[in-house]
Amino acid sequence: MTDIVISQALKIVDKTLEPDRLNTVEELVLKECWAGKTYQEIAVDSGYDSDYIRVVGSRLWQNLSNAFAEKVTKNNFKSVLRQQARKGAFSFSTLELPDGQVPLNSDFYVERPPHETSTYEEIIHPGALIRIKSPLNMGKTSLMIRILAHGRSQGFKTVTINFQLAEASLLCDLNKFLRWLMANITLQLGIESQLDSYWDEDLGTKVSCTTYLQRYILEQLSQPLVLAFDEVNHLFEYPEIAQEFLPLIRFWHEEANNFSIWKRLRLIVVHSTDIYLPLDINQSPLNLGLPVNLIQFNFEQMKDLASRHKLRYQVENLDRDITLLMKMIGGYPYLARLAFYALSTENITFERLLAEAPTSCGIYRNHLQGHLSTLKKYPELGKAYEQVVCSDQPIQISAINAHKLESIGLIKLVNNMVLPSCLLYRFYFREYLAAEI
């Protein structure tokens, strides 16, 4: 038998009763009956008179009986709706699990003007450099893949390098690292690797790498190449590599001012925090090009995302609930998607979702426990964050700890002071961190 969830049942009922739609109490009765509650239980929980709830239910089943041309009752309505779904008369857009980047063809990508427009325009410029910065789970990679797709629509070649895929042994040896980088580029472009023909010990690793990129890769391409570096902040954990490679990115970008061949190269640099290594400002690529600093969703963007999940709320309740949700989680895209996905697919009320949010039994439990594991793995970082969540005022912590906590989205900076990035983190980690670290 075809199984459906309450959000799909509501869609079937709404479609069947068009142009009419369920009012607030009818929707309440349908949801609670779907969960197996009696009319009396619904009345007690909602505060309505039990006779009124019974009348609303009786009217609802009668309306559905007329629409489906078969007897619908409280006892069989779930079976009837499942049969209607099995007939294929109703199509359901599959909700995406809110995990990782938002796919290109997704209905759940919310634009944050002017970033999409400005980056699409910038990537077309010869020698362009775009820097995308934001904490974890804010949509950096989702924006990056859209810039790359726009580049491909212009006939550009595109390559993505995620530095989290580099093995630790590569990140301890500059020569191995740069050969790995160039090998990845040639592999993704579908051209034969000629590393040994261009690598010269006498010239050095960085010159060999630059020569290979210029004379072998760029010169044989008739189209511009968009080279996207994702998770650049991962290199910050390997200072010797970062302090050699980051100036090299800057050099490649600046060569577009000197040689036309380098104008074919467009660069996208994606990172979660500013560099905290002692690097000359004139050597870093993180102060050049077009900066894109992704911030949290505003109210209208949160409301847009909620509507894409087809949440079953009246407008005035939706506004109220989004306001309450933002007090708990701010406008973090990933946390918002988790909430709207749960409300759309699970039999959970908004009040319950919010009450359980900062606990180990709420919808954010895996997300919070993941952060807790990280803080347990690095006790110094955990102790620093414990001080942050236990203080009612912004405090000052070491620059390195601040950068690391900001990169994973646990804090926000106020001048030189820090505080938890949202109440969800303050409530959860104030409760669980002291016992774990």
Residue 297 has pLDDT above 90, yes or no: yes
pLDDT digits (tens, 9 = 90+) for 6-30: 777 887 887 788 767 788 889 899 9
So what's the pLDDT on residue 155?
96
Here the tokens at position 379 are 């006790």
Where in 23-101 does DSSP place strands (E)?
Answer: none
Residue 324 has pLDDT above 50, yes or no: yes
- Cα 361 off chain centre by: 22
Q: Which residue has the higher pLDDT, 283 or 71?
A: 71
Q: What percent of the chain has pLDDT over 70?
A: 93
C-alpha closest to that of 341 among 30, 18, 102: 102
DSSP 204-256: -HHHHHHHIIIIIIGGG-SS-EEEEEE-GGGGGGSHHHHHHHHHHHHHHHHGG
pLDDT digits (tens, 9 = 90+) for 376-414: 999 999 999 999 999 999 999 998 899 889 989 999 988
Would you say 401 and 306 are in contact if contact means Cβ atoms under 8 Å apart?
Answer: no
Residue 281 has pLDDT above 60, yes or no: no
- 50 Cβ contact partners less than 8 Å away, ≥ 6 residues apart: 39, 40, 43, 44
So what's the pLDDT on residue 89?
56
Amino acid at 74: K
With H, G, I as helix, E, B as strand and everything else as coil, classify residue 213.
Answer: helix
The CA distance from 160 to 145, in Å, is 9
Residue 280 has pLDDT above 80, yes or no: no
Residue with tokens 């749960």: 342
Q: Which residue has the higher pLDDT, 195 or 93?
A: 195
Mean pLDDT of the chain: 90
The CA distance from 131 to 289, in Å, is 7
pLDDT digits (tens, 9 = 90+) for 205-252: 999 999 999 999 999 999 999 999 999 999 988 999 999 999 999 999
CA dihedral defined by 195, 201, 207, 209, rounded to 10 degrees? 20
pLDDT digits (tens, 9 = 90+) for 147-177: 999 999 999 999 999 999 999 999 999 999 9
So what's the pLDDT on residue 352?
93
Residue 5 has pLDDT above 90, yes or no: no
Would you say 193 and 95 are in contact if contact means Cβ atoms under 8 Å apart?
Answer: no
